[in-house]
A and B are shown apart, each in its own frame.
Chain A
Amino acid sequence: MSIIRSLTLLFIALISLLSLPAQAQEDDPGRELLINLAEAPASKVEEALGAIVSSGDPRARSWLEAFGSNRLSRIKDTGDVVVVLNNRGRDWEIANPLTGENMGDMSRRELDRVAINNRIRGQLEGIIAMLDLNAADPDVREASAQDIMGKVDATLVKPLEARLELEENAAVRNRIEQALAIYRVSEGDIEAVDILAGSLHPRARAALNNAVRGDNPALAAKAKQALATIEQKLKLNRAAETLYFGLSLGSVLVLAAIGLAITFGVMGVINMAHGELIMLGAYTTWGMQQLLPGQPGLALILSIPAGFMVAATAGIIIERSVIQYLKGRPLETLLATFGISLILQQLVRTVISPQNRTVVTPEWMSGSLVVNDALSLTLNRMYVLGFALVVFALLMLIMRKTRLGLEVRAVTQNRKMAQSMGIRATRVDIMTFALGSGVAGLAGVALSQLTNVGPNLGQNYIIDSFMVVVFGGVGNLWGTLIAGLSLGTINQLLEPWAGAVLAKIIVLVFIILFIQKRPKGLFPQKGRAAEG
């Protein structure tokens, strides 16, 4: 027990020494500390470690990590302690632990490894976590407190309690309390169950489960109750997560379909190459990142206008070269544009590669927003969801508030009459088709952040997109939005008990049946625009 007491004392000492000024390079006390550690016999290692910890040296963590992973060695000649960076082969690459500077290679015969036994190694993890608990950054403190959960043993209780007294950050306090409670529950403390009842952390649940299975009936009953409360909360969180994934999938569907809602819904042109326009947008993002290596974020932002322009240009070419000659023959348009989609796919395969390309996710888009232990929302999906809503709002604005939107609506409602009023219908056709295609390009830019960018990217979305447009009601942008979001959510809701593929099949069959019942979709167009 003397070890425990000495460590405890040391930790308390360390806390009071928290903010020590950086050491000067000459007669660095760190050198002394390390040599002490290296020379300590097995029984004195704890003492040496304690000295390092209580020195408050900011480099202590890296030393302890190197020690724990067998990477501390002594140079036999000088007695200096070094960190081994690479211990493969005859010559080892070493670095100075005090300055971090690389000292080049040294023959392994000239080095002597600083030994560590398993008992110490087991303690080291807790010691390092305790070191982090004293860090200035509350995020680091919280992460280390989370690390320590479930690993608390008798040695750590006292220093943790001491730390708890000092801690001001509520989140960190909460974590430390939970970490202590897990230990106390395992020791049979009934009061501690209350603290764990509020936690969603899997280790807290594991501790409670152990208590339920334990031989203390009072504790087991209370733990069972606490588990039920947690289960309830988890269920809520799981529902929130499903909803989030559903909305995310829905936003992808909306993005993919909204361009189609313009070309098919408003203009009545069946563009089977729509998926390939999405693919072009995704490849534009990839190309942009190739042009700007090292700046994925900037490249991604620049590919928003670029993707729009590329897809819109492709759309204009398709409209001028094929679709305009097939006006009023929807089935033929379908076939011709399908041919175009095959050509575009093969073009990408031949020119770029049949393999998938990787598009880098910029740093500010990766990671996730942690709501609590059971719920974290991935950031890239959130950005895509927001992007979809912005694109939708912009399209709504264009269709409702601009001259172009007015002309588009006029031409679709009564082409001849619009022409007599001086609207150049052909120009409107081109502009509308370019707009719809450009939005497909935007969808591609967004999709490049979520899925693989490959020649088949478009094919995977074309049927879904048509389903969304038809389900929402042709010619109705709001319908497309609601249809996309709800289909995405339904799909995610079905997935847990049906599996991904079956969920998709069920949704498809549902839409097929729905169209029989309401051939004009959820929100059919009314009035004059509906006839035609």
Chain B
Amino acid sequence: MWLTRPLRERSTQIFLGVLFAALVVVTFLHLFMPQDSALHVSAYTVTLLGKYLCYALLAVAVDLVWGYLGILSLGHGAFFALGGYAMGMYLMRQIGDRGTYGDPVLPDFMVFLNWQELPWYWLGFDMAWFAFIMVLLAPGILALVFGFLAFRSRVTGVYLSIITQALTFALMLAFFRNEMGFGGNNGLTDFRDILGFNLRTDATRLGLFIATGIALGIGYLICRGIVTSKLGRVSIACRDAEARTRFLGYRVERVQLFVFVVSAMLAGVAGALYVPQVGIINPSEFSPIFSIEIVVWVALGGRATLYGAVIGAILVNYAKTVFTGVMPDAWLFALGGLFVLVTVFLPKGIAGLLFERRKKRKDPDADPNTPSDTEREATA
């Protein structure tokens, strides 16, 4: 089966092994190390790591379309945020009458804005199963409609990047409006519990962290499964020679649409897991700069490797946490510098750096001008 096939790959085994080990070690250190021990992992750190894992899943989703389909999406933050809002709406309904205004149905901000009843698109979000389906469907349907229109008319390359950016920008403006019914610029916050577990307890936080780890593992497996399948081969062919693939008789736009929608859904799941951990979702997640930041995580880690995206996401966000804590002014310099340095000096990212070195050791006569590893993969 396509999903289990990658399990036989060395790289996937290593990745899943490391991920599993990390989950076990963090859980152990959190639960069984005494509070005052240097090795104890606090609940705060667990949540922080959970946030990194969400970003890692998001980066994997971006790498799937950018690395294997050649579509540089500058709007994946929109799918992430939509998944997040779907989850946020569920969490909002779970508050019930414990809000400031004590209204059993309406969330606080609606009472504040004098709304009389719940808008139709909020209906059903009190049920967990419905909300979880919407986490997949909301970004999925947006990606389907957007992708259908874009790929059918063969909008590619830079054009596509720019209109994905316009898409997320338009959504950001829309969600900032109070009239939209998503809390305006305050967004959704003040969550109490998820599936009956109190969000403010350490145990729930640990549970969310583990769930995010599992989601990342499954997401990685799905992506790996897709790129190693025949569909993945065609997708790589689209990336490297779109016209030629079309002339060979493949329906390029269908492949693009499928991969794009899967990627959007993965981004939505990442957003849904992110919201209960950080406790808020607001329109800033739609901002174009966030979407473009995701791309630089992938670029730093190494495009078209999937595990590189995970490395990049965790590294950059760890650096962000450190920098914004120690010297907040320097963070934008560092991030901007990263954009420039990675694209100019490290086009294959960290993963490419490691991969190239190993390759050379194996085969000292390798021609430095061979096609890039991605192209090699494509012709294999």
Contact = CB atoms under 8 A, between A and B. Distances in A.
A292 interface: no
Contacts of A71: none
Contacts of A339: 296, 335-340, 343
A315 B379 CA distance: 40
A423 interface: no
A509 B72 contact: no
A345 B340 contact: no
Contacts of A511: 163, 166
Interface string A308-327: 00000000000000100110
A341 interface: yes
Interface stretch (A222-230, A429-437, A512-520): A512-520
Interface stretch (A251-259, A481-489, A499-507): A499-507
A516 to B, nearest CB: 4
B339 A508 contact: no
B329 A342 contact: no
B177 A501 contact: yes
Given A335-B296, A336-B344, A516 B153 contact: yes
Interface stretch (B90-98, B99-107, B126-134, B168-176): B168-176
Nearest to A345: B332
Contacts of B288: 463
A332 B154 contact: no
A343 B162 contact: no
Contacts of A332: 343, 347
B304 interface: no
Contact of A346 (B72, B177, B333, B342): B333
Contact of A516 (B150, B161, B176, B333): B150
A92 B335 CA distance: 61
Contact of A512 (B158, B167, B343): B167
B170 to A, nearest CB: 4
Contacts of B336: 338-343, 346
In the complex, which of the residues A334, A339, A340, A463 has the most CB atoms of chain B within 10 Å of its own CB atom? A339
B119 interface: no
A214 interface: no
Nearest to A502: B177
Given A336-B340, A339-B339, A343-B332, A508 B170 contact: yes
Given A325-B344, A350-B329, A331 B177 contact: no
Interface residues of A, number: 41
Interface string B287-305: 0110010011001000000
Contacts of B319: none
A83 B16 CA distance: 89
Nearest to B70: A331
Contacts of A326: 343-344
B157 interface: yes
A338 B163 CA distance: 16
A517 B153 CA distance: 7
Given A330-B158, A501-B177, A335 B333 contact: no
A270 interface: yes
Nearest to B150: A516
Nearest to B153: A516
B165 interface: yes
Contacts of B342: 335
B17 to A, nearest CB: 32
B163 to A, nearest CB: 5
A466 interface: yes
Given A335-B299, A339-B335, A463-B166, A270 B155 contact: no
Contacts of A459: 289
A173 interface: no
B339 A335 contact: yes
Nearest to B342: A335
Contacts of A270: 158
Contacts of A415: none
A345 B331 CA distance: 12
A330 B340 contact: no
Contacts of A504: 170, 173
B152 interface: yes
A346 B166 contact: no
B40 to A, nearest CB: 36
Contacts of B20: none
B355 interface: no
A335 B72 CA distance: 10
A511 B158 CA distance: 15
Interface in B63-100: 72
Contacts of A463: 165-166, 169, 288
B159 interface: yes
Contacts of A467: 162, 166
A332 B298 CA distance: 12
B309 to A, nearest CB: 15
A519 B155 contact: yes
B322 interface: no
A470 interface: yes
Given A335-B292, A346-B332, A350-B329, A501 B158 contact: no
B113 to A, nearest CB: 16
A470 B347 contact: no
Interface of A: 270, 322, 325-326, 329-336, 338-343, 345-347, 349-350, 459, 463, 466-467, 470, 501-502, 504-505, 508-509, 511-513, 515-517, 519
8 contacts: A338-B336, A339-B296, A342-B332, A343-B333, A343-B340, A346-B336, A511-B163, A512-B146
